[in-house]
Amino acid sequence: MNKLLSALFTAIFYCALLAFIEYTPMNMREANTYYFSYFSLLLIYLTYSVPFLIIVGIPFSIFIEKMESRIAFTSLVKRYWFNVGLYILSGIMVALFFSLLSKGNILLRLLDFEGFFIYIIPSILYYHFLLLNSLWIKN
C-alpha cells in the first residue's frame, strides 16, 4: 500500500510540474494555434505516468529493497545515499531501455542527458515519497 501511494503521489507531483512547465499562458499564445489547458496537460501526463509508475516503479522498488536488505549499513546516511544511487540507476536503466526501443543511433541518445532526467527525477521523487509515507504510517 505504501508503494502504491508513493507511486500515485509521485505521478501527481511530477505531472503537475511537467504540465506547469509545458503550459503556455494566455498572453503568450499565438493566434490560430491550439494550446492545451493546464488541466488537459495534467490529465494527459497522468494517463501515461500512473500505469508506468505502478508497472515499472513498484517492481524496481521491491528489487531495491531486496538489495538493501542484504547489506548491513552502519549509518542511516549511508543507507539513504545507497538507495538514492540505486533509484537513480533504475531511472537510467529505464531511460536506456526506451532508448533501445526507439529507432536511431543509441550513442546519440546516450549523450542526451535531458532524456535521462525525465526518468531519473521521478525515480528520486518516488523514493522520497516512499520515505515520507513510511514516516507518516509509523506515526
pLDDT digits (tens, 9 = 90+) for 23-38: 777 777 778 778 888 8
Q: Please measure the distance between the N-terminal and C-terminal CA atoms of the chain and give it in whole angstroms.
A: 16
Q: pTM of the full predicted structure?
A: 0.81
Burial class, 48, CB count within 10 angstroms (exposed 0-12 / middle 13-18 / buried 19+) = exposed
Q: Which three three-digit cell numbers place residue 70?
A: 542484504
Q: Please give the torsion angle defined by the CA atoms of residues 24, 26, 31 and 33, in that order, rounded to the nearest 10 degrees.
A: 40
Q: Give the domain extent around 76.
A: 2-138
pLDDT digits (tens, 9 = 90+) for 52-91: 888 888 999 999 989 888 888 888 899 999 999 999 999 8
Q: How many domains is the chain partitioned into structurally?
A: 1
